Amino acid sequence: MTDFVIETPPTPTIPVVGGGAFPVRRVYCIGRNYAAHAVEMGHDPDREPPFFFQKNPNNLDASGTFPYPPHSEDVHHEVELLVALKSGGTNIKIEDALDHVWGYAASLDMTRRDLQGQAKKMGRPWEIGKAFELSGPVGPLQSVANVGHPDAGLIELKVNGEVKQTGDMNQMIWKVPEMISYLSDYFELAAGDVIMSGTPSGVGPVQRGDEMVVTIQGLDELTVKVI
Ligand code: MN
């Protein structure tokens, strides 16, 4: 057994409906994967090659609270379907991709939009806007055995009871099997990797005290309080 020279950090996990926990290895996030959101961010909605960024595994948090982060005056919600992998590999074929999925969860890609905007303008990486503490509120994982592979149906975010983001999962520009296949051409995917599959239009700011409610057809509702 390895003799660790410091106390081993805890393994980041996502709770599973019915018990147990899913250990997280990596977090990939796709950018601009719904046409209407690409347009609202000032981009062409045509099917250009997908692009990805990463959050840190321990940015995911299932506590139901989101602490407003420092150094931002413009923190945005992005509601997303999270895909959790039970296996991986390289050069995975699109038709085989769903065999690697363990389950799905509702999630939020919380974003310091002002800092992300500055980074974009200066050609700098996005981590300061995307990969901060607790920036990935997540609901409990549902297994494929329970819910199959949700590829259509409502994806919605309400803030304080008002619908802010709404779309249909069938509007994803790059579908879940295509994202898995594409990522596996550039990275070695493995059990424990998760993919946040992009957000529909309607992103906008939250304030302390707001209550965000995520509805994704087939999954449990996720409620997150901004504190
Ligand atoms: Mn996003």
Average pLDDT over residues 146-152: 96
pLDDT attached to residue 48: 84
Cα(152) to centroid of ligand 1, in Å?
18
Domains of the chain by range and CATH? 13-226 (3.90.850.10)
Q: Tell me how far the alpha carbon of residue 96 is from its chain's centroid.
A: 22
CA of 81 to the centre of ligand 1 (A): 10
Report the separation in Å between the CA atom of 4 and the middle of ligand 1, taken as the mean of its atom positions. 35
Give me ligand 1 centre to Cα 5, in Å. 36
Query: Could you please report the per-residue DSSP string of 152-188?
Result: SSEEEEEETTEEEEEEEGGGBSS-HHHHHHHHHHHS-
On whether the CB atoms of residues 109 and 143 are closer than 8 A, the answer is: no
Average pLDDT over residues 184-195: 98
Q: What is the pLDDT of residue 101?
A: 98
Q: Ligand 1 centroid vs 178 CA: distance in angstroms?
A: 17
Mean of pLDDT values over 190-205:
97
Residue 39 has pLDDT above 90, yes or no: no
Q: For position 40, what pLDDT does the model report?
A: 83
Percent of the chain scoring above 70 in pLDDT: 100
The pLDDT tens digits of the residues spanning 65-106 come to 999 999 999 999 999 999 999 999 999 999 999 999 999 999
How far apart CA 220 and CA 166 sit, in angstroms, is: 17
Q: Is the confidence at residue 38, as pLDDT, over 80?
A: no
- Kindly list the strands in the beta sheet with 101-108, ordered across the sheet, starting from the edge strand earlier in the chain: 52-55, 26-30, 193-196, 79-85, 101-108, 142-143
pLDDT at 152 over 90: yes
- Asked whether the whole model's pTM tops 0.85, one would answer yes
Task: Tell me the CA–centroid distance for residue 169 and ligand 1, in Å.
Answer: 14
CA 50 / ligand 1 centre spacing (Å): 13
Give residue 14's pLDDT. 98
